[in-house]
Amino acid sequence: MKRLPPLPALHTFLVTAQHCNFTRAAQQLHITQGAVSRQIASLEEHLGYALFQRQARGLSLTREGQDWLPRVQQVFALIDQGVREVGGRSATLQLKAPTCVMRWLLPCLMEWQALRPDVPVELTTTVQHGVDFRREGFDAAVVYGNAPNHGLRVRKLFDEQLTPVCAPSLLDGSVPLAQLEDLAGHMLLHPSRDEHDWRLWLQAAGAGFDLHGPRQHFETLDMAMAMASQGTGVAIGDWALIGDDLRSGRLCMPFGLKVMTGKAYYLASPAKSPPAGLIELLDWLEQRASQ
């Protein structure tokens, strides 16, 4: 079998054939014009026939050069396809999630990366609760609210269940926190400006008072939980998202009532063929949520 021509020389031939000009080919390849000329001459010597006709006003392909061009184009197209397909197997998965789910999701992703370093995940956080895969380049997203549709692949993670939480030290403080009415003597921490979560829970609990006492608002659930863990006041949060805080003792539930809001957290992904590793990641997150 005759020795195959060197790949760099074939690439130089491809670029030169596209321009039919040594100078422009050299500029694109970031080498000198003389280097381009020498590579083409070496390739022609290797093949045993000319690929270009040297003319006063430039170059033109010989008949052999015209026959070679589509074949070389096909070779480099196959190489490019192989790079993209093989490289895609270990490409980083792009995941989008609202900030309100970070307390649950971040520890899960850290555990996933320890178990599967070969399937890296890049997380983008947002205050938005939805996703539009037609305009956003994500492989999957955590969605909060009602079940998304529009032809997506959807898995339910867990329902939102609201309950008051506070630092354990607050239970033993000078101001009692044993009965529902005792909440009136504590600062209520709100994870949003509309105070909707507290109102919903107090109504379900049958509280005989409204939100007239001291209160503080935060932009995110995470900020409200952080302040509650320091003993600042009593926050309202999603029981499913603060499991680690409850297990570690950073937070406790002064009351056992958990109120379903009718909303939930879902994993959504496009209906198209998923990238390598995505199904395994979604299966694993769904399993962690069920625990």
Cβ atoms of 291 and 179 closer than 8 Å = no
**pLDDT tens track for 104-160:** 999 999 999 999 998 999 999 888 888 888 888 899 999 999 887 777 899 999 999
The residue type found at 200 is L
At 72, which amino acid appears?
A: V
pLDDT of residue 155: 94
- Backbone angles phi and psi of 237, in degrees to 5: -145, 170
Chain center to CA of 36? 43
Q: What is the Cα 111 distance to its own chain's centre? A: 16
Higher-confidence position of 15 and 57: 15
SS3 of residue 237 by DSSP? strand
Q: How confident is the model at residue 1 (pLDDT cuts 50, 70, 90)?
A: very low
Does residue 231 contact residue 165 with C-beta atoms inside 8 Å? no
Is the confidence at residue 100, as pLDDT, over 90? no
- Which range has the worst mean pLDDT, 41-45, 74-78, 253-257? 74-78
